[in-house]
Amino acid sequence: MPELPEVETARRRAERALRGKRIAAATLAPDPIVCGGLRPARFAAALRGRLVVAVRRRGKHLWLELDRRPWPLFHFGMTGAFEIDRTGAPRPRFWKVEIATEDGTRLAMTDPRRLGRVRLQGRPEEEHPLASLGYDVLEGLPPARVLAGLLARRTGPVKAVLLDQSLFAGVGNWIADEALYQAAIDPRRPASSVVAPEVARLRARLHAIVRHAVAVGADDGRFPRTWLFHHRWGREAGARTARGERIVHLTIGGRTTAFVPSRQR
């Protein structure tokens, strides 16, 4: 479920497992789609013997900072995840990459749907592909007046603009819907029509949602019941929020969108 909170949670777990350790083996599943042109032999040779200095994240991208480049860079796509094992268990189903350290810790990236990506990053991380990412919603958004200036130049639906990673790195489908619900803004409205007080609300809710989701380890069972999140896909039953508000579904920017017309204007 990789939006920013899930990716940040994966980052913290991976860092706890790998930081300060030396890589004994790095294995790439023999699958050309996941990794582009990256070859298993090159991947293994580049990482073997390297020290893991840190695990870093920007938006939905993750990478291992090693004592020497290149560094492995991960994107989870729709269904990617990390699994960590210290017991010598078999590799998990749908594994694509495994990195083992000298003490027997193994980090696997799994990805059933194979829309995730792994690559080796030879240049400083600012250059590619992270250079095009906008503000990381957890690290901090710019002042509302700056965001208002950005939105003012966009005529597309505000929901679609929230999903634009070159503006809001880390926002995904559920966070965009949740923030618009909590800020009481109709997702179909042109971004340029969102006025200053609304931008301020949107900014505050985005930050609060992401911080809370990260604080509970992206465990959706611990999200507040008042959030749209828990209720938005209850379609057959006639979806309602915890407050009993009717939830409507439509497609915006190619993504299914849930919103509450009685609340979002």
Partner DNA sequence: CTCAGTGTTCAGTG
Partner DNA sequence: TCACTGAACACTGA
From 48-56, 95-103, 137-145, 149-157, span contacting DNA (CB under 7 A): 149-157
Q: Show the site string, 20-39: x = touches DNA by CB under 7 A, - = not.
A: -------------x------
Q: Is 127 a catalytic residue?
A: no
129 counts as binding DNA under rule CB under 7 A: yes
Beta carbon nearer to DNA, 17 or 133: 133
Query: Which residues inside 99-118 make contact with DNA, applying CB under 7 A?
Result: 112-115
Query: CA–CA separation, 248 vs 187, rounded Å?
Result: 11
Nearest approach, Cβ of 113 to DNA (angstroms)?
A: 5
Helix (H) or strand (E) holding 43: helix 40-47
From 46-54, 102-110, 150-158, 194-202, span contacting DNA (CB under 7 A): 150-158
Query: CA–CA separation, 141 vs 152, rounded Å?
Result: 16
Q: Which of 178, 199, 189, 156 lies closest to 247 in space, CA to CA?
A: 178
Query: Which residues inside 207-226 make contact with DNA, applying CB under 7 A?
Result: none
Q: Residue 36 burial (CB < 10 Å; 0-12/13-18/19+)?
A: exposed
**Interface pick for DNA out of 23, 47, 52, 59 (rule CB under 7 A):** 59
CB 27 within 8 A of CB 40: yes
75 counts as binding DNA under rule CB under 7 A: yes
250 counts as binding DNA under rule CB under 7 A: no
Residue of 5, 8, 15, 60 marked catalytic:
60
Give the Å distances, CA to CA, from 57 to 46, 102, 191, 251: 21, 24, 27, 29
Q: Show the site string, 171-210: x = touches DNA by CB under 7 A, - = not.
A: -xxx----------------x-------------------
Both tokens of 230, joined, read: 């828990």
Q: Which residues pair with 99 in a beta bridge?
A: 26, 107
Q: Using the CB atoms, write b or e for 119-137: b if 16+ within 10 Å.
A: bbbeeebeeeebeebbbbb
Contact residues toward DNA (CB under 7 A) are 1-3, 6, 33, 59-60, 75, 77-78, 112-115, 129, 153-157, 160-161, 163, 165, 172-174, 191, 233, 249, 253-256
**Residues recognised as catalytic:** 2-3, 60
